[in-house]
Structure 1
């Protein structure tokens, strides 16, 4: 019996997938596999069940992607977010990584992504790394040099330049602001 795949918009962490999987199982759907941005059911479901499936997905803040191009853009986003969050070091350029993972020509992926998102894949990747850096700075468990290294920057200086270019603040200034806010909240 064939499985049925659904691409899910905004499912960007494994915890999201676990929660959705649990909710789907509770609703009577037999989930075979959950990956970032994708849920596979054990067997195909009919139109009425698909409607129930979609409503349940939407109830939890996600959406099912039906259009092939939208699905491809979402897959690109999922891969880029995963790279930014894990800090995985790429042996080859991002373009090669995505082309290999998605079995598509990178120029095609790039044109499609830019057309839909209004920014290049590389820019989206930088923005995701900066968002992850902000989170790590707020957590305060790593030094700025550790954060730079873990996000794949060649040096702390390169990380600092890119962070300042995107946020208008240096990472150390961002950290100081975070500390000042924490002090004022603690004093209340």
Structure 2
């Protein structure tokens, strides 16, 4: 049995959910971004108790099938951009279709219908947040950041960055961390 959770965006989120599951003595097989796979179906009372504890730390259970799929799309995109450099070498539409078992056109149309924006625009927001993170870390040049995130040039990255943030990457670097947006708020 799988349960879907909104707002899980990183490894720390997985650890937080596992902590709650252990505190409730719930037997589970696996916790990944946006999903918990249980060994057995949960009684309604236990599911409600788990939901309350998850909500207390900013997560939310998703019961609606469409919203579950949307959350899975978002988690795949986050994985694609933030957590696995090798994935960026793949075509995003092929990656999403392969991971989720639906044609990309269906996923794209559903995402636009439910979220009011396109997958492409969501990907741009995620990429810009990754660029911000890498700029703040100050370990890579802008050219290296552009290459890592699949931009064709530094100029293209800079133009997109300014379009989304209103700032050039160098101006952002000078003001730093206060302009980052949590991934679950994108």
For residues 92 and 121 of structure 2, what CA distance do their matches in structure 1 show? 11
Provide the secondary structure at the position in 1 that maps to 2:5.
Answer: strand
Provide the secondary structure at the position in 1 that maps to 2:42.
Answer: coil
Residue of structure 2 in register with 1:119 after alignment: 117
Residue of structure 1 in register with 2:158 after alignment: 160
Aligned pairs for 1:121-160 within 5 A: 121-160=119-158
Instruction: Select 1:63's aligned residue among 55, 60, 67.
Output: 60
CA displacement at 1:16 relative to structure 2: 0.7
Q: CA 1:177 to 1:51, structure 2 compared with 1: closer, same or farther past 3 Å?
A: closer
Q: Which runs of 5+ in 1 are unaligned?
A: 180-188
Aligned pairs for 1:43-54 within 5 A: 43-54=40-51
For residues 39 and 87 of structure 2, what CA distance do their matches in structure 1 show? 34
For residues 80 and 89 of structure 2, what CA distance do their matches in structure 1 show? 12
For residues 13 and 88 of structure 1, what CA distance do their matches in structure 2 show? 17
Larger Rg: 1
CA displacement at 1:60 relative to structure 2: 1.8
CA displacement at 1:31 relative to structure 2: 2.2
CA displacement at 1:176 relative to structure 2: 2.5
TM-score, normalising length: structure 2: 0.87
CA displacement at 1:89 relative to structure 2: 4.1
Residue of structure 2 in register with 1:73 after alignment: 70
> Could you say what the CA RMSD is over the residues aligned between the two structures, in angstroms?
1.7
CA displacement at 1:38 relative to structure 2: 0.5
For residues 91 and 80 of structure 2, what CA distance do their matches in structure 1 show? 12
Q: Which runs of 5+ in 2 are unaligned?
A: 178-186
For residues 124 and 176 of structure 2, what CA distance do their matches in structure 1 show? 22
Provide the secondary structure at the position in 2 that maps to 1:20.
Answer: helix
Residue of structure 2 in register with 1:172 after alignment: 170
For residues 155 and 46 of structure 1, what CA distance do their matches in structure 2 show? 53
Tell me the matched-pair count: 176
For residues 160 and 92 of structure 1, what CA distance do their matches in structure 2 show? 22
For residues 116 and 61 of structure 1, what CA distance do their matches in structure 2 show? 21
Cα deviation digits, residues 153-176 of structure 1 (max 9, x gap) = 222222112112211222122113
